[in-house]
Amino acid sequence: MLSRREMRLVPRGDGAGVMFLWKGRFKADTDQRVRDFTQSLDLDWCLAEDDIRGSLAHAKMLCEVGIITREDLVLIERGLNEILEEVRSGQFVPDPGLEDVHMNVEARLTAKVGPSGAKLHSGRSRNDQVATAVRLYLRRRLKDLKLSLGGLLKNLLELSRRHEDVIVPGYTHLQQAQPISLGHYWMSHFWAFLRDGERLDFALRSLRLCPLGAGALAGSTLPLDRFMTARELGFEGPTENSLDTVAQRDVLLDVHYFCLSCALHWSRLCEDLIIYASREFGWMDLPDQFCTGSSMMPQKKNPDVLELSRGKASGVLGRFVDLACMVKGLPLTYNRDLQEDKRGLFENLNVTQSVLSVLSALLEGVQVDPDRGVKAFEDGLALATDVAEYLVMRGVPFREAHEKVGKLVRWCVDNQRSLRTLGIEEISRFIPEAAEDLLPLLDVKASVDRRTTYGGTSREQVRRQREEGERRLSAWLSDSEVPLD
Ligand code: ARG
């Protein structure tokens, strides 16, 4: 039971009254509309566990430097651990009248343990407290995202293996350009997403310093040990400048940029698959479980998952821009605008997490029709570069070869002939340098396998790059600088 004096310390956020945190300074009650308008519980309740972790470290340090007693610490630790349980079990129903998760936890602690709880906020401001909790939260989320991205990367490697021998058209300007191995195509997305993995690591590294102890903006007159709290919370050390610590949001923009780059990549992948699975292209088939039907047209099988993923990518960009705009022109140091930083950031993490997992699962079930893939080349025109390069190897200057082959292509188009089925006499009319040894080259398989330049589409090169990809993926997954503890 708390004494009468102690009861006065128990904060109340409900009903009328001045917010307990600053009740000394104010004569008038906070307007209810202002309470509703300024509360951020809908944004920051997910930080509860991280806030408690931060408070446990802060309390331990306060005791170590002699600001609170060992008895205080025992009570605070017991109280905070109970609150942690209440949060996890859903028993803790936060009070929006107490503005945010941080004040709710502190109020609950003081309600539980009295004056010891009221000592917890010594040398701390919500400005450094929020920044710390957000960093802890982001580190957790990014580690989960790393696993999801790792799953997608593994699936892309597997698809590349499965479809190594499948030949499909490669496009520029969405016009057939040259034949490629579908295995090579999947690897192109693999490398893009692996670079996003490096961006994720960069974002994680941006979060390596601990804001706690920066205070409201200028540090504290209390003998806080910032190195100790940083260590306790698994940070590399404390941040260097207290003003910068509470004012900056670029470490959050690094996290945003990881999400954005990922979104731009998944969006292009989705767009491709939507095209390849259309009737007109038709050589890719999406798994039924990941498609939807039409309420009216019985024949429809729609790629809604891919379209939604593409659609959600715009939101990711919008929310990145939102935070960039927010900090541009904001005077140093903390301004309340910054409370809104979490809205877009957390949403981007959620979107990225859900798209990565659903896309990864969809890819596992993608089927291809190799015959339809090759059929797309019936007119053989995608082999035109092969003919030009054949001539280059016989000493014809490339520009001249380009023109000669161009004329041959023109003739094929006008006469509805396929480049693949021409006889050598027909070819020689346009290209006197051509000999019998050109004919075996007018074949899509040969065309793919002859592109043996490093990083090219020959199956030999695709195999080599996949091996390199496997190595790079496991190195990334086990990067000791960014441990997945
Ligand atoms: N809920 C606020 C946030 O998330 C807490 C910070 C308030 N700080 C202040 N100086 N008013 O940013």
CATH of the domain at 32: 1.10.275.10
Atom of ligand 1 nearest to the CA of 342: 4
The single residue of 294, 314, 474, 478 carrying the catalytic annotation is 294
Whether the pLDDT of residue 292 is over 60: the answer is yes
CA-closest residue to ligand 1 atom 7: 126
Residues above pLDDT 70, as percent of the chain: 94
Whether the pLDDT of residue 12 is over 70: the answer is no
End-to-end CA distance of the chain: 41
pLDDT tens digits, 207-248: 999 999 999 999 999 999 999 999 999 999 999 999 999 999
pLDDT tens digits, 74-120: 999 999 999 999 999 999 999 999 999 999 999 999 999 999 999 99
> Is residue 114 domain-shared with residue 158, that is, in the same domain?
no
63 Cβ closer than 6 Å to some ligand 1 atom: no
Note if 184 is an active site residue: no
Range of the domain at 87: 4-122
> Is residue 18 domain-shared with residue 160, that is, in the same domain?
no
> Is residue 244 domain-shared with residue 95, that is, in the same domain?
no
Residues in CB range of 98: below 8 A, 6 or more apart = 11, 13, 19, 104, 107
Ligand 1 centroid from CA 126, angstroms? 6
458 lies in a domain? no
> Is residue 9 domain-shared with residue 144, that is, in the same domain?
no
Whether the pLDDT of residue 257 is over 80: the answer is yes
283 lies in a domain? yes
> Is residue 360 domain-shared with residue 330, that is, in the same domain?
yes
Domain finish residue from 122, 155, 171: 122
> Is residue 151 domain-shared with residue 45, that is, in the same domain?
no
341 Cβ closer than 6 Å to some ligand 1 atom: no
338 Cβ closer than 6 Å to some ligand 1 atom: yes
346 Cβ closer than 6 Å to some ligand 1 atom: no
> Is residue 101 domain-shared with residue 170, that is, in the same domain?
no
CB 149 within 8 Å of CB 156:
no
484 lies in a domain? no
Ligand 1 centroid from CA 134, angstroms? 12
124 Cβ closer than 6 Å to some ligand 1 atom: no
What token pair was written down for 459? 């199956």
pLDDT level of residue 18 (50, 70, 90 thresholds): low
Mean pLDDT calculated for residue range 325-351: 98
Predicted confidence at residue 28, as pLDDT, reads 85
Note if 278 is an active site residue: no
Domain finish residue from 122, 154, 182: 122
From the list 184, 192, 195, the residue with the least C-alpha distance to 464 is 184
Ligand 1 centroid from CA 248, angstroms? 14
> Is residue 305 domain-shared with residue 364, that is, in the same domain?
yes
SS (H, E, C) 404-440: HHHHHHHHHHHCCCCHHHCCHHHHHHHCCCCCHHHHH
pLDDT tens digits, 32-88: 999 999 999 999 999 999 999 999 999 999 999 999 999 999 999 999 999 999 999
Domain count, the chain: 2
454 lies in a domain? no
> Is residue 343 domain-shared with residue 321, that is, in the same domain?
yes
Mutate to test the pocket of ligand 1, among 98, 127, 327 (most ligand atoms within 8 A of CB): 127
Whether the pLDDT of residue 1 is over 70: the answer is no
Instruction: Please state, rounded to an integer, the average pLDDT across all residues of the chain.
Output: 93
From the list 369, 218, 220, the residue with the least C-alpha distance to 282 is 369
Atom of ligand 1 nearest to the CA of 44: 4
Helix (H, G, I), strand (E, B), or coil: what is residue 284?
strand
> Is residue 167 domain-shared with residue 107, that is, in the same domain?
no
Domain finish residue from 67, 89, 122: 122
CB 377 within 8 Å of CB 177:
no
Token pair 């007119």: residue: 379
